Structure 1
Amino acid sequence: MGRYNRLPDNSNSGLWGGVIVLVIGLVFLLRKMDLHLPDWVFSWPMLLILIGFVMGAKNKFQGAGWFILTFVGVVFLLNDMLPFEWHLQRFFWPIILIVIGLYMISRASSRSKRYEEIIADGSSTASREDFLQSTTIFSGTNKVILSKNFQGGNITTMFGGTELNFMQADINGEAVLDITIMFGGVELVVPSHWDVKLDVNTIFGGIEDKRTIVPASANKVLVLKGSCTFGGIDLKSY
């Protein structure tokens, strides 16, 4: 009997989601008890900080998504807490862009080094064309992947959209795609017989697999890892 495409393991996501709901419930309970706590304790910036912290803890504080959420919360929270008008919001976008830029540079450097090591390995037949690096910011990207020995790569989409078509590509074994989405969307057109495993943390986002369920190949595994914040991932096949 054929092995079918696996559904994502949502046990950890459910655990952390439960933690967030529990904390929010406790905060509202304390508020109803009239304990005279500061107003900022029950504010939406505190909620962003909580979600950012939980997201960071779940990912061992790697990536930029948790930091940006926490930073947004801290900026607006300080503006509410300070006894004078500082107008911290005016620094918000410049600092966000600086953080995103530094994150992209660091990520590109580390990935490039990793691919160099894989290519230099005599036991590997991989080439640069077998790795994907897609960065989309305030724009759109549409690519057709032709590699017959796809090895993986990374996708960064912020304030934009990315469409990748893998129908003419092939995998021999397992390939890992590291995905970072913030205020954007990614559409992946993937052969229905590929086994797609999901390990993506979603905060105010979602993942939808619209592919036809067919027996999945044991040696064609595409692993999606990373984070999706205020965005979405669509999986499709023809």
Structure 2
Amino acid sequence: MATTTSSRRLPTSQALLGAIVVLVGILLLLDTTGVVPTRDALLYVPSIFVAVGVWALVQNHFRNIVGPVVLIGVAGAGQLVALEYVTVDQVVVFWPVFVIAFGLSIVLGQFRSHVHDTDDAYTSAFVAFGGIDKRNISKAFTGGDLTAVFGGTELDLRDAVIEDRPARINAVALFGGVDVVVPREWNVQMTVVPVLGGASDDRPRRETQHDEIDLVVTGFAAFGGVSVTD
């Protein structure tokens, strides 16, 4: 139970992403309305995404390395260009690094499993330019938040138990995919909003199903998808 409490004290990946979007929006609004000139502050927006990459490394306990490192590299290069330390042409010559990073992600995938077990009542996952799968085996599962940005994440709940129904998962897929695997008998309610994306419960329909809702999946998908499978 102590593990669960400590994990809840940390800001979720979606809270961090939302805060960044709000901050950038405020800076843009202040600049476009002429209230306060914020162009100098906007120059440092790429550094925010460097912080997101570092957060992704820490949150996933350095299990998913390639994706966050790519994000840090791209954002870091963008920051150097914005501050005019380097030119775009000087940065572009390093594009083969992305090919190397892609190859490393394949190699690393051959030597270790991408499925990570957790017994936390609340599961959080953030993926950027990569992928990570988690299996929750908690006997008191309450919910989670799953975010995939140019990547994919899967949460397997087939060994999880819900005591206080319904459990709630907030899923965000931006140019990526979020998959939630649940026991076949669970009654799942989906309220995901697709924006040029998709949200679906892909489990086969059954003739009988209990009325009590076991799991509620909310969130949104933009140029990506959120799915529930068994």
Query: TM-score w.r.t. structure 2 length?
Result: 0.49
Q: Which has the larger radius of gyration?
A: 1
